[in-house]
Structure 1
């Protein structure tokens, strides 16, 4: 179903006893049995809460595994995001579509209307799971997929919170697809990032990382100003054909002028150089610094502009507007929802101007 035309309705049914079990511990990742009806088809599923700070919010997000049949048009598992803290409900969807325009692998995202045991829960954003089927649908070679599980996924030896040495070079990561050798390969990369001289790093990094795609991803994170995007909120795809890692964005609600709590984040909060140890090492090399500047200059003239993005923002807002007034968690925030497109477009204009002003800092 095309997002631009209508929203699909998802009806969840959970046995009252299983629902009590689900609600008894919001921090549990254990799934309970349930059913999902979409149109005339009923799916047997397993459902659990998902997210970190979002689990304490009134409107919960869900992770769903399909058991009978074992697959669904969105995959064998999907994520239903409540987007409760984003007053626009647009930021995740807008971000993933923006990254696609930059040539970066990104999950598909579509809005759906969700009810639970007959009670309307409101608008949710369905996110595609990043797994082997994600690769297959895109005709990509199979390979490893590693999630940046928490903020220790910063390509450093140090824990960003304590500044202590990590217990493991794989700290912060979770293997989604692959084996022990794939974990070792990433640990090897982290070790080299933190120990090699500039000369040796310049030679070695091309054997581990798709540099151009990393710099395109970097441009996307810097433009959207995802504060957490450098140390989590991404997945690594190890392309078995090239032997190189590519970055995949994830959880981009804290963007476009607001943080992950929905609070205002000024357009100049995050520097043009980005963050994390890998980015710093790459931008220390004149050739990659020039490449990054060239990419950003192009993006700031084409895709990260109010002219390019305003029609997309307006279209998404128009799509959701009729349903917001019925969403029990958003209907009282209608005025703020209606003001968000203007706020986001203003952020894009100011952020674009800020980044153009600071392009000179990327001159080798």
Structure 2
């Protein structure tokens, strides 16, 4: 698992003051404004908007960038620049996405950049790869539909998680990034089948819709990193057109490794070993799937989710970020919190690992 932290590139944004005022006039707007991005000696005409949900109200904004001329930026047509403002370590998202890649789960690439806006340093950002058509092409994957789970209605249930009323649509909680109306039909069928296949038939029927092996690996990743809302959002769905099977791709994993998405401390045993959504409950209700999940998780707890493996990577990222934290106008006042985070995360890994090993008996 490459840490990708040897150097931090600098990105320089230039936005006309008039366009910048328009951008700032409505933080909830998804409308893009024209801008220019310079990276090394290359210049790109782009369009830029704010991104995120609760993060839009924070002092340090996150951005969505579309490339217009040239259309291609290192194989991408759009990228996300995340402020990671609520994570005192700044590294949870990257550490999580790298961890998922070590599990052989499709995961967007993430790297840190130093962002300047109209000549002013705006701090450290996380450049996130977009999960889109280019994402599939870079990995030589078959084309297929991609959906973003953009709110907690994406819980694989027929019920709204907030009021437990029946959802008005089986597509509630999802936003199609790539695909057609026919693909919407496949997703509706998936949600319907998850909730209506009889228990006696579930094991042999669900494999026609979900890549079970990859789902169990994804589940192990969510459970280890303890993304407490990662079961009902913070993922993308990809339907492989060659197999017809859905698989999940992690997204926005800053609320992990012992902290919530608001940056608050979380007990290491907050998320149970069985996870938490309708699909997971039904899959783990099948003894063969549950046994396979236990085998996968046992191996991960011995080889990949360990203090010995992860602590050096955490230290490497910390040492790379620290000089720039001192210059980041939004984070430099929190330097003491930043300095305490590696120890906090390592302690979480140790405690979480022990807890999950103790809970393996629940998967018998």
In the alignment, which residue of structure 2 is the partner of 1:331?
A: 332
Rounded to whole Å, the distance in 2 between the matches of 1:251 and 1:106 is 11
Deviation at 1:205, TM superposition (A): 0.6
In the alignment, which residue of structure 2 is the partner of 1:237?
A: 238
Deviation at 1:177, TM superposition (A): 0.7
Q: Which runs of 5+ in 2 are unaligned?
A: none
Q: Is 1:119 aligned to residue 133 of structure 2? A: no
Deviation at 1:42, TM superposition (A): 1.0
SS of structure 2 residue aligned to 1:207: coil
Show CA shifts across 1:100-156 (max 9, x none). Answer: 011100000000000111110000000000011101101111111111121100000
SS of structure 2 residue aligned to 1:319: helix
Q: Is 1:178 aligned to residue 179 of structure 2? A: yes
Q: Is 1:268 aligned to residue 269 of structure 2? A: yes
Contact kept, 8 Å, 1:144 with 1:177, in 2: the verdict is: yes
In the alignment, which residue of structure 2 is the partner of 1:294?
A: 295
Tell me which stretches of 4 or more aligned residues in structure 1 moved more than 3 Å.
Answer: none
Show CA shifts across 1:174-202 (max 9, x none). Answer: 11111011111111111111111112222
SS of structure 2 residue aligned to 1:347: helix
Rounded to whole Å, the distance in 1 between the matches of 2:176 and 2:333 is 41
What TM-score, normalized by structure 2, do the two folds share? 0.98
Rounded to whole Å, the distance in 2 between the matches of 1:183 and 1:118 is 44
SS of structure 2 residue aligned to 1:35: strand
Q: Is 1:344 aligned to residue 345 of structure 2? A: yes
In the alignment, which residue of structure 2 is the partner of 1:160?
A: 161
In the alignment, which residue of structure 1 is the partner of 2:320?
A: 319
In the alignment, which residue of structure 2 is the partner of 1:129?
A: 130
SS of structure 2 residue aligned to 1:63: strand
SS of structure 2 residue aligned to 1:65: strand
In the alignment, which residue of structure 2 is the partner of 1:139?
A: 140
Rounded to whole Å, the distance in 1 between the matches of 2:4 and 2:105 is 21
Contact kept, 8 Å, 2:75 with 2:138, in 1: the verdict is: no
What TM-score, normalized by structure 1, do the two folds share? 0.98
Q: Which runs of 5+ in 1 are unaligned?
A: none
In the alignment, which residue of structure 2 is the partner of 1:353?
A: 354
SS of structure 1 residue aligned to 2:207: helix
In the alignment, which residue of structure 2 is the partner of 1:227?
A: 228
Rounded to whole Å, the distance in 1 between the matches of 2:151 and 2:71 is 29
Contact kept, 8 Å, 1:74 with 1:128, in 2: the verdict is: no
Show CA shifts across 1:259-307 (max 9, x none). Answer: 0000001101111110110000000000000001111100110100101
Deviation at 1:74, TM superposition (A): 5.2
Deviation at 1:3, TM superposition (A): 3.7
Length, aligned pairs only: 362
SS of structure 2 residue aligned to 1:194: helix
Deviation at 1:23, TM superposition (A): 0.4
Rounded to whole Å, the distance in 1 between the matches of 2:357 and 2:320 is 32
